[in-house]
Structure 1
Amino acid sequence: MTQYLFTPAPVRSLKVLGQAAEYPVSRIFCVGRNYEAHAAEMGGTVDREAPWYFTKSAVSAVCLSGETRPYPPGTSDFHYEMELVVAVGDAVFKADLAQAEAAIFAYGCGLDMTRRDRQQDGKDNRRPWDLGKDVEGSAVLTTLTPAAGFALAGRRIHLEVNGTTRQDATLDDMVWSPAEVISHLSHYYHLQPGDIILTGTPAGVGPVVAGDAITGGIDGLEPISLTLGAAE
């Protein structure tokens, strides 16, 4: 039996509706600018040639819906981003659209919490976004809903801060569908069960402060919530 110098990090996993076994998270991919109105509010445009991505560390970034997390260090401009989460259920590599669609195991709600000022630093200085995006506790995730029989068309996606609606759109507004994202991403990675994808956020992102309560949802999926505690 292998001996370790210290206790390895525990596996982070998500509950699945109707199943006793949980879904272990291995990698987190996030799609940038997948809603045209959000791209515009951020001063950019949608790249219609292909989707593009950033990543988060599953061990440190995963936070379960309903938790209270401290306002993170190193920022004075911490933003919410409400997103559809796609959980991969089959190994796919260089997949076509049909194969990519078949590889979708489940859907959920997610929050991509972002140090916007640190992300802007990266943009301004042509540096990586890690300090802005790969934040501890910044991938807030709900219980997953199996994808079989769950159609995405027309479903509302929304977010509230302290009960006031800040984001309100439909999944039809996504530029790249989940199958298109998986197909494209699988030409760069051997995607595996345990990989999850946050598919981008609608317009209306903005800052939150310690004490704020964030809630949100997508029609038919488990709703999401996060409370921000005092800064560390």
Structure 2
Amino acid sequence: EKEKQDYVFCLEQSLLLYNPEYILLVEDDAVPEEEIFSVLQHLFSARFSKPYLRDALYFKLYHPERLQRYFNPEPMRILEWLGLGMFLGPVLTCAYCRAAGRAGPSWRLVAFFALYSMALSELVGRHYGLELRRLHPALYNVVPASECCTPAMLFPAASARRASGYLRGLRCRRGFAKDTALYSLLRGEGENAFVVEPNLVRHVGMYSSLRLNSNPKLL
């Protein structure tokens, strides 16, 4: 609860003292990537003005790599995974047929390479593929946010007012920390939120002080 109160205080004081368009809250165990400001500048000028992003409650700038894999209950990620297989399956099949001197591809071969590429991408890790998006700010992706973790959050000013009001009406407790509270607002209040991929900060904290036990797990 104290963490949530501090978070609300930071939001409200930022609104009161600076009259900003956006508020960027970065926690003390998050280190910004070198390209964070160039990417944010591009997002401000070219992406966040779009209707479906304009009224977002918040934008997450970090999501744990272990939760960025394809095997997660997020429909958009499953569609991305299927699209990867549908693209790489025919490409790898054509390359194989040319290298092996085969007359033409078969649907079995296409299906094999599609499944092979999907399995390989999951084993290697989706977050490694996301690193290719760092080549240019325009390649960064903005997708619907999922639960967990708030090392770096971007709030439009109007949304920050709504978020602070919502959070004041909630009481955090063990198992219902501020990140869960923020995520609960999306369904409870009909709000939208998004996450920027790949991450724009690195989370350097090893343990959470909110987990009160003698053998804390690594984050």
Q: In which range does the TM-score fall when normalised by the shorter chain?
A: under 0.3
Bigger relative contact order (CA 8 A; separation at least 6) = 2
Normalising by the residue count of structure 2, what TM-score does the alignment of the two structures yield? Answer: 0.24
Higher helix fraction: Structure 1 or Structure 2?
2
Q: Which has the larger radius of gyration?
A: 2
Higher strand fraction: Structure 1 or Structure 2?
1
